[in-house]
Structure 1
Amino acid sequence: MAGNVQHRAGKEGPIPVITATVVISFLSFFTLGLPDGLLGVAWPTVRGEFGQPVGAIAFLLASGSMGYLLSSTSIGRIIRRIGLANAIVGGSASIAMGLALIATAVSWWFILPGYFLIGFGGGLVDAGFNAYAADHFDATTMNWMHACFGIGATVGPSMMTFSLLRTGSWRPAYLVSSLFIVLVTALILRFRHRISGAAGGTRHPTEPVAPPAGHDLPASATADIDREGDLPAGRDPRWLSTWGGVAVFFLYTGIEVSTGQLGFTLLVEGRGVDPVRAGFWVSAFWLALTVGRILLGPLSHRVGSRRVLRGAFALAVTAALLLMLNLHPTLDGLSLALMGFALASIFPLMTLLTSERVGAARAHDVIGYQMGAATVGVVLLSGGGGVLAGRFGVALIGPYIFVLTLL
């Protein structure tokens, strides 16, 4: 339907057309960021209340990641079975239930299933809207959608800091977040027909276009297509692009979550920074991630997505080096903000380029694999960082993040 077109013809315009589906996707990604932003600041208090070591954060990340992995890697099949809109509604409801369970938890064993529900719902919402956006959004809208994740993750630490200062408890922040996501779920339910009606209705610009009537493709072109399809998996460029992209998502989330979740612990417990100031710098990390996505979306139209990505990788290494060197407390905080800006464009642009790399027919399934790899990266890399910090000291967090960026 015409009301569901979110981009200008040819996807060339840098300014997206705001419609109901765009607004819903933005709000949904905001809700994805909230839990991530809450945990980083809440963790020292949560683990103290339940008598857990620093490394126990790995169990929370693993629980959430198992739920995320289960839903995100199956997103193609889930969409075909129940529809995209229903999958997103169910995912949003699952996040709200998980947050409510955590807010009312009476023991550590209620926290773990709460994060499983958050992860499972997040996988449906994240992979679902990314699959939709890869077909319907341009680079700017895709970046802005992911910027809303950063806004949620920026609000999260501030909300948790406020909750701790005013009430002395981390629970109100989780409860308020749950109630807000209930409202977002109701909004998605109200407009779900817009998502269902638009799904699959817009051809991605990289999808092959049939030649005009009476004009066949050159024989050489069809021969190239046939030869590529006959290549062994390990030599097929599409196969290499698929698993190369999967590896990037694996590393990216390990770096992002390690920085966002362990940065507060590094500053407070490892370097003696005041908790309020450390909370500010963690918020600055997520804010820079958000601002970067807002600014770099239009920039990618001018200089190209691949150039933006190359610059982002180089800047991330620089930021991680500054964080590791521990030259000055203020510079440590600024390096967190710089890292957020560096990471801003990687996830959305890599997702947007998926269809171009692997073909439109395989894009939905491959996006699911990428989301799954992102989850495994959280478990193995970010969770592993927490375990190493608990065993060898939180000072190890800085060098650990730097090594990840070099990979």
Structure 2
Amino acid sequence: MTIFLLVIIYLAFISLGLPDSLLGAAWPVMQLDYGAPLETAGFLFMTIAGGTIVSSLLSGRLLKRFGTGNVTFVSVLMTACALLGFYFAPSIFWLVVCAIPLGLGAGAVDAGLNNYVATNYKAHHMSWLHCFWGVGASLGPIIMASFISGENTWRNGYLVISCIQFALVIILLLTLPLWGRVKNNSNLSVSEGIADSEGVTPDEDIKDIKPLKIRGVKLALVAFLFYCGVEATVGLWGSSFLVNVKGISAATAAGWVSFYYVGITVGRLITGFITFKTTNQTLIRAGQIIALTGAVILFLPLPSAFSLAGFIIVGLGLAPIFPCMLHETPARFGKTHSQTIMGYQMAIAYTGTTFIPPLLGFMASHLTLGIFPVCIVVFVAAMLLSSEKLNDLLKKKVSLKSNSTVM
């Protein structure tokens, strides 16, 4: 039963990744159909991201009241309806309307499933879960391209993805009773973090403390902000950097950046196996150091060929960080507030994805794209620093608890 539900969660994460890359793949054709300006895609993206941030912030309350299974079912249903709305949308106005439930559905299901896996399954499942998101994000453009390249339109691509989502809705409806059973029968022992001022376990003594008041939470949020800022910035501006600064052709640059995404996806698959031998904390630190190494390679005035290695190394380094940080949430801050804190983390993550890449673009437009590797080094270093400060804080709390127990 536990394994069967895990398969359902994997399928849900594939479906979560499917819509994420559709707009970018379809927009060149959609723009012509609607006669819209180029920047309209950015406005649609911001609308989706805004909905995702809002639902992530509210996810803690929703999950506690309705349960992960019910929230996931409704969220995927909203996503399926929104994608179907894209298929029928007669104007840009209706695309904006449909973008709202698309974002709201994505944020709630993302935070809910991440917390469910973090509290009920072991670390390797979290890494593989996000690897499956990469599978969905890769399949979306492939499905859309097959329709755009043929005699069909982009609308049919959205229709197919919508049908896939509705199929998952039916599966989720039929398996709703399983969610509570697996949670009640879970034998996973979460190593609780020490988060309160008196050095006692979170679940025992911080029930009445607001999640943001728990020491270390804000440091964790900073790490998530810069992680997603780095991941999205490299993906958005990597090709432009290679073309404008390194003098590489656009086709070659696109191919090189695709290896960056391959590094993340394959790295997460490999990370799932490595978690059997080491801890999340070790993998987070190692990933940050590897990513920083790749960023430094991009920064140094080396021949252009080294840039390919730099992108691959950054991708491999980023691979374990996000899923391992998510899985550490209940261990760092306790199960009592893990759902709410998970929602905060996802909201901050989407904030980083939404605002940091445009910020770099704004800076580059007034300076030069040569600042790209400098910013990546700074962002990764800031993530590493906040993460290490959090580790030190948690160690001190563990020490305080040990001393108080002995006394």
Q: TM-score, normalised by structure 1?
A: 0.77
Match of residue 120 from structure 2: 136
Match of residue 396 from structure 2: none
Q: 2:189 aligns to what SS in structure 1?
A: coil
| C-alpha separation in 1, matches of 2:244 and 2:161 | 27
Asked if residue 194 in structure 1 is aligned to residue 178 in structure 2, the reply is yes
Match of residue 385 from structure 2: none
CA-CA distance at 1:102 after TM superposition: 3.2
Residue pair 2:122, 2:188 contacting (<8 A) in 1 also? no
Alignment of 1:241-260 (within 5 A): 241-260=216-235
| C-alpha separation in 1, matches of 2:351 and 2:190 | 29
CA-CA distance at 1:121 after TM superposition: 0.9
Match of residue 333 from structure 2: 358
Is 23-32 or 260-269 further displaced after alignment?
260-269
Residue pair 2:271, 2:320 contacting (<8 A) in 1 also? yes
Match of residue 265 from structure 2: 290
Q: Quick one: percent identity of the two aligned structures?
A: 27
Match of residue 381 from structure 2: 406
Q: Which one-letter code corresponds to 1:128 in the other structure? A: G
Asked if residue 52 in structure 1 is aligned to residue 37 in structure 2, the reply is yes
| C-alpha separation in 2, matches of 1:394 and 1:163 | 35
Q: Which one-letter code corresponds to 1:405 in the other structure? A: V
Q: 1:301 aligns to what SS in structure 2?
A: coil
Q: How many aligned residue pairs are there? A: 373
| C-alpha separation in 1, matches of 2:36 and 2:356 | 24
| C-alpha separation in 2, matches of 1:162 and 1:332 | 31
1:323–1:406 CA distance, 2 compared to 1 (3 A) = same
Which residues of structure 1 form unaligned runs of 5+? 5-18, 209-222
Work out which of the residue numbers 44, 68, 85 in structure 2 matches 1:101: 85
- Post-superposition Cα deviations, 1:167-214, rounded to whole Å, max 9, x if no partner, equal 596544433322222222222222121113323543652367xxxxxx
Q: TM-score, normalised by structure 2?
A: 0.77
- Post-superposition Cα deviations, 1:246-299, rounded to whole Å, max 9, x if no partner, equal 111111122222333444565678866445x55544543333222111111221
**C-alpha RMSD of matched pairs (Å):** 3.7
| C-alpha separation in 1, matches of 2:359 and 2:100 | 18
| C-alpha separation in 1, matches of 2:95 and 2:257 | 23
Which residues of structure 2 form unaligned runs of 5+? 193-197, 383-407
Match of residue 78 from structure 1: 62
Residue pair 1:100, 1:174 contacting (<8 A) in 2 also? yes
Work out which of the residue numbers 17, 40, 45 in structure 2 matches 1:33: 17
1:108–1:330 CA distance, 2 compared to 1 (3 A) = farther
Q: Which one-letter code corresponds to 1:286 in the other structure? A: Y
| C-alpha separation in 2, matches of 1:320 and 1:157 | 28
1:70–1:274 CA distance, 2 compared to 1 (3 A) = same
Residue pair 1:326, 1:332 contacting (<8 A) in 2 also? no
| C-alpha separation in 2, matches of 1:103 and 1:267 | 36
